[in-house]
Amino acid sequence: MIKYVALYKQPADPEAFEKAYFEQHKPLIDKVPGLVRQEIAKVGRTFVPNFLEGSEPYLIAELYFESKDAMKAAFASPEWQASGANLTEIGGMELVAMFSAEVVE
């Protein structure tokens, strides 16, 4: 299994960002083919300050796929492209670091 992780910095307007994220962006992600599960967590406390160079982590989204190939196929889908365009529209691309990680245990 592999997961795609999006780590978001604190937005200028958290309420507006959350509204757009959960009402617009998440429904698009829900439609991505090959997605096994999705976890979204709101960061409650940061134990190592300044990890993000002066901006605290705010939201973590983890998208799980069965394999690297399944994730690559998802990335090529129109649903993934639509979610990326939406993230740009709602200002999330300015806030996010994205990476993949293989689940080893």
Residue range 16-67, pLDDT digits in tens: 999 999 999 999 999 999 999 999 999 988 777 776 676 778 999 999 999 9
* Tokens read off for 1: 């299994």
The alpha-helical segments, DSSP class H, found in the chain are 14-20, 26-30, 68-75, 78-89
Burial class of residue 80 (count of CB atoms within 10 Å of its CB; 0-12, 13-18, 19+): buried
* Tokens read off for 62: 């983890």
In the chain, how long is the greatest CA-to-CA distance? 38
pLDDT tier, 14 (very low <50, low <70, confident <90, very high otherwise)? very high
| 57-65 β-sheet, strand order | 35-42, 57-65, 2-9, 96-102
Tell me if the pTM is above 0.75: yes
* Nearest residue to 63 (alpha-carbon basis) of 94, 95, 41, 44: 41
